[in-house]
Chains A and B, each alone.
Chain A
Amino acid sequence: NAGVTQTPKFQVLKTGQSMTLQCAQDMNHEYMSWYRQDPGMGLRLIHYSVGAGITDQGEVPNGYNVSRSTTEDFPLRLLSAAPSQTSVYFCASSYWGGYGYTFGSGTRLTVV
């Protein structure tokens, strides 16, 4: 099993550009989440999903959109990149109800 796969691993964007961070899992997990981690800080929840077609906002959703059309995929869209969105982004997935999350290896995003 590949687990949670995030692409790309690194990305540099110019201010105002848009892009999509991809996240795919092959474990048939219902729950998926996106986090950002700024240098030297903890993780902050951006958006999460409990199943296909269902998404909700986390702690810091502004500037990001998500959709969950399939169980496997949970892309994160940056609408108009800003330097404040420079961060490492982690995607995670879990089975329904009381199981541990598996995290991807992260996407390091720099907005200049």
Chain B
Amino acid sequence: DAKTTQPNSMESNEEEPVHLPCNHSTISGTDYIHWYRQLPSQGPEYVIHGLTSNVNNRMASLAIAEDRKSSTLILHRATLRDAAVYYCLSGATNKLIFGTGTLLAVQP
């Protein structure tokens, strides 16, 4: 199973963009890159996923390095509601293995 590395914590100010990095140097060619987040006292929530190309949806953007060994989740304008643990995962889609994630704090 591919392993991911994320910073333990990050801080952002409200209304500013946030770039959450993730390294997945052991990713294989068919592994997707997934991002989930977990708000306090809730179950994880799907954010975005991609294979090779950058991806955008209503929640965020995913920028994938050309060699696929790293990716960045971009929240374009952080809100207080975006304070959560963000998990980056890479691997087969039938077997998602979570790491420890990045705790994002958003300051008003």
Q: Which A residues are closer than 8 A to B by beta carbons?
A: 31, 33, 35, 41-45, 48, 50, 56, 58-59, 90, 92, 94, 96-106
Q: Which residues of B contact A92 (CB under 8 A)?
A: 43-44, 96
CB-nearest residue of chain A relative to B34? A100
Contacting residues, chain B, for A94 (C-beta < 8 A)? 93
B93 with A90: CB separation less than 8 A: no
- Using Cβ atoms and an 8 Å threshold, which residues of chain B touch A42? 85, 87, 98-101
Residues of B within 8 A of A (CB-CB), count: 23
Give A87 Cβ to nearest chain B Cβ, in Å. Answer: 13
Q: How many residue pairs, one in A and one in B, have C-beta atoms under 8 Å apart?
A: 60
Closest chain-B Cβ to A41's Cβ sits at a distance in Å of 8
Q: How far is the CA of A44 from the CA of B42 in the complex (A)?
A: 16
User: With A98-B49, A98-B51, A100-B34 given, is the CB distance from A105 to B43 under 8 Å?
Assistant: yes
A-contact 0/1 string along B48-86, CB 8 Å cutoff:
110100000000000000000000000000000000010
Q: Are B96 and A90 touching (Cβ within 8 A)?
A: no
> Measured between alpha carbons, how far is A48 from B93 in the docked complex, in Å?
11
A-B contact pairs, 16 of them (CB 8 A): A31-B93, A35-B98, A42-B87, A42-B100, A43-B44, A50-B94, A56-B95, A90-B43, A92-B43, A97-B93, A98-B32, A98-B93, A100-B36, A100-B47, A102-B46, A105-B43
A33 near B96: Cβ-Cβ < 8 Å? yes
B45 contacts the other chain (CB 8 A):
yes
